[in-house]
Amino acid sequence: MTNIRTGMGYDVHQLVEGRDLFLGGVKIDHAKGLLGHSDADVLIHAICDALLGAANMRDIGYHFPDTSDDTLGMDSKVILKQVVALIATKGYQLVNIDATVCAERPKLNPHIPAMQACLANVMGCDADQVSIKATTTEKLGFTGRQEGISAYAVCLVEKVR
């Protein structure tokens, strides 16, 4: 039996006025926020899908449907904590995450250490296990037009029991 597995996640949400912007569990000052059923934290959602995929446990929408009143307005940090507990039921724990957030604005580099610390705290791991990078799409596509933000995440998990 394989003791290590990889997972990949992707998420995208539309930027709209009248919503707070949360990325990696951190509230970022910006004129627009992400539209979604929960707080729409694309980075956390991509990480959740990567973790669930690595453990062969379907996806975030399966466990936290956007049609449920229970998940309406939910803090994505709560979702992430529950996902870490879910993969643990199959004996898996996080080895590392490598994630990329695609956003034209706001500039995310100043916020990355806070995101790493927040995510590590939620997942019960060391911040060094959480790599976050930021990029733009050079003004191309919906991201370049500042209509939305997307995130990609890959993870490695290890079976510990």
- Write the DSSP assignment of 83-139 as a string of letters: HHHHHHTTTEEEEEEEEEEE-SSS--GGGHHHHHHHHHHHHTS-GGGEEEEEE--TT
Residue 148 labeled ligand binder: no
Q: Say whether the peptide bond before residue 65 is cis (omega within 30 degrees of 0).
A: no
Residue 63 labeled ligand binder: no
Residue 17 labeled ligand binder: no
Residue 137 labeled ligand binder: yes
Residue 145 labeled ligand binder: yes
Residue 135 labeled ligand binder: yes
Residue 61 labeled ligand binder: yes
Residue 60 labeled ligand binder: yes
Residue 126 labeled ligand binder: no
Residue 45 labeled ligand binder: yes
Residue 28 labeled ligand binder: no
Distance of CA 7 to the CA centre of its chain: 13
Residue 142 labeled ligand binder: yes
Residue 98 labeled ligand binder: no
Three-class secondary structure of residue 59 per DSSP: coil
The binding site for a divalent metal cation comprises 11, 13, 45
The binding site comprises 11-13, 37-38, 45, 59-61, 135-138, 142, 145
